[in-house]
Amino acid sequence: MPITREHLAEEHPDLLFCDGLDHALVGVVSRFGMEAVALYDRALIIKGYMDDDGMTWEEASEFFDFNVIGAWAGPMTPAFADLG
């Protein structure tokens, strides 16, 4: 079964999600004493920018660093993993 926002939100209704990045959603991450947050695969996000927007790896990586991982939305801000 693919991971979807809807599936994750059923068990974790307070999750925040990144608009337009559902293709890179890999699950939920939690740590002791902290709320669970949505988890995204950094490489899949960058690949999406390259494929969909015609960016080079450098452009996509810089865009990700500034606009995605650099966007703070409070303690429920999603997390990003390097899985490869």
pLDDT digits over 24-39, tens only? 999 999 999 999 999 9
Pairing of strands 25-29, 37-41: antiparallel
Domain membership of residue 22 as a residue range = 5-81
SS3 18: coil
Instruction: Report the distance separating Cα 74 and Cα 2, nearest Å.
Output: 27
SS3 59: helix
Looking at the structure of the chain, the number of domains it has is: 1
Q: What is residue 2's predicted lDDT score, i.e. its pLDDT?
A: 75
pLDDT digits over 37-84, tens only? 999 999 999 999 999 999 999 999 999 999 999 999 999 999 999 987
Q: Do residues 37 and 29 make contact, with C-beta atoms less than 8 angstroms apart?
A: yes
